[in-house]
């Protein structure tokens, strides 16, 4: 059996900011898996837990796997995106600062491990109901595209390239890195999504000959940068399509108050879709992954998480 070696790093003991790195094996290549950069959901943490349980029950790893199940302990505990101590989002300050705020010091400590890894997989939970998918700088870097093409999830979306995120900074630094975004709600774990992601990561490890087992050949569609669909009024939104569907520009994806159609201005795959709920003008109700090289450039600054629109009452 492979036993985990735990390295606990105290960033700020007074606030409980301690990072627990679980390492399986000691050789190269090294795969670094990171989850819970914020407190949006525990589904990505559960996926990390499932991977650790699997590794604990195998005889040998050729190489090593390092897992950081909770990268932002305080934000995760409070269920928030930014730290209440310095109002910073962890996934916006990489590579961090050894002498900076708590969030910057946390990023610096993670970056120390990341810069030595051969592959990095960042797990996160979508803030809107979505199909599990990869986000990566696959258009710019062959080393990133090679990893993305070996993850057994059907869609890889072009990363926004926002500076300060781990996915962008590591890719620029020559490290093969991807993010996997999965389904999950703030108050519950989507166990099916976590198992799906675990299997995709274990299959990647098999393809890299790190662990033994039957491999699944991957078939991945590379797409352009994610495009958002906003509503122009308020009321009850009712979706009329299903996640994962391919839609065309002009297709109705839902209605508001059963009278106003919400139309997609883009061609592409429906990656995320709001469930039936009450929406306000400007709210994002869906995200589309357009065909590679055939998407409209956003007129707004690229961000991984859109800034909420001020709601009108």
Question: In 3-state terms, what secondary structure has residue 107?
Answer: helix
Task: Quote the tokens at residue 26.
Answer: 């000691």
Range(s) within the chain of domains with CATH label 2.40.50.100: 226-289
Ranking 1-5, 109-113, 149-153, 292-296 by mean pLDDT, the lowest is 292-296
Work out the average pLDDT over 11-37: 94
What band does 311 get if pLDDT is binned at 50, 70 and 90? very low
Q: Could you read off the pLDDT of 233-248 as tens digits, one per residue?
A: 999 999 999 999 999 9
pLDDT in the model for residue 63: 96
pLDDT in the model for residue 309: 46
What band does 298 get if pLDDT is binned at 50, 70 and 90? very low
Which run of H or of E encompasses 106? helix 102-114
Q: Is the pLDDT of residue 71 over 80?
A: yes
pLDDT in the model for residue 294: 53
Q: Which CATH number fits domain 226-289: 2.40.50.100, 3.30.365.10, 3.40.30.10, 2.60.40.10?
A: 2.40.50.100
CA distance 241 to 294: 22
Return the ∠ at Cα 11 (arms to 166 and 33), rounded to 5°.
35
Instruction: Give the pairing type, strands 119-125 and 30-34.
Output: parallel
pLDDT in the model for residue 292: 86
Domain 5-221 carries which CATH code?
A: 3.40.630.10
CA 312 to chain centre: 30
Per-chain mean pLDDT for the chain: 91
pLDDT in the model for residue 13: 86
pLDDT in the model for residue 40: 83
The reply to whether the predicted model has a pTM over 0.85 is yes
Q: Is the pLDDT of residue 261 over 80?
A: yes
CA distances from 29 to 26, 93, 165, 285 (A): 9, 27, 23, 41
Contact by Cβ (8 Å): 208, 29: yes
Q: Is the pLDDT of residue 310 over 60?
A: no
CA distance 93 to 8: 22
Range(s) within the chain of domains with CATH label 3.40.630.10: 5-221
Work out the average pLDDT over 251-280: 94
Instruction: Give the pairing type, strands 17-24 and 64-68.
Output: antiparallel
Ranking 33-47, 120-134, 289-303 by mean pLDDT, the lowest is 289-303
Q: Could you read off the pLDDT of 170-214 as tens digits, one per residue?
A: 999 999 999 999 988 777 899 999 999 999 999 999 999 999 999
């Amino acid at each position: 059996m492979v036993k985990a070696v735990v390295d606990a790093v105290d960033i700020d003991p007074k606030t409980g900011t301690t990072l627990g790195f679980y390492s399986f094996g000691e050789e190269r290549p090294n795969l670094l898996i990171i989850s819970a950069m914020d407190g949006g959901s525990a589904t990505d943490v559960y996926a990390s837990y499932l991977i650790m349980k699997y590794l604990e029950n195998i005889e040998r790893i050729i190489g090593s796997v390092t897992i950081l199940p909770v990268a932002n302990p305080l934000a995760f505990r409070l269920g928030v995106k930014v730290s209440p101590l310095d109002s910073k989002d962890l996934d916006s300050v990489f590579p961090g600062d050894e002498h900076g705020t708590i969030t910057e010091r946390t990023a610096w400590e993670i970056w120390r491990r990341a810069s030595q890894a051969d592959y990095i997989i960042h797990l996160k939970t979508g803030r809107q109901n979505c199909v599990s998918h990869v986000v990566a700088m696959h258009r710019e870097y062959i080393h990133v595209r090679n990893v993305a093409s070996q993850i057994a999830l059907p869609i890889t979306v072009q990363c926004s390239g926002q500076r300060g995120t781990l996915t962008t900074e590591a890719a620029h630094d020559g490290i093969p890195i991807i993010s996997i975004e999965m389904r999950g709600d703030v108050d519950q774990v989507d166990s099916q999504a976590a198992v799906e992601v675990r299997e995709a990561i274990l299959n990647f490890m098999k393809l890299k000959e790190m662990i033994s087992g039957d491999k699944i050949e991957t078939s991945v569609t590379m797409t352009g940068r994610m495009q958002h669909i906003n509503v122009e009024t308020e009321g009850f939104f009712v979706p009329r399509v299903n996640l994962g569907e391919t839609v065309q520009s002009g297709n109705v994806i839902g209605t508001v108050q059963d009278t106003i159609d919400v139309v997609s201005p883009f061609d592409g795959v429906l990656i995320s879709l709001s469930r039936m709920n009450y929406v306000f003008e400007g709210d994002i109700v869906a995200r589309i992954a357009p065909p590679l090289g055939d998407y409209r450039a956003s007129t707004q600054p690229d961000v991984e998480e859109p800034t909420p629109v001020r709601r009108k009452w």
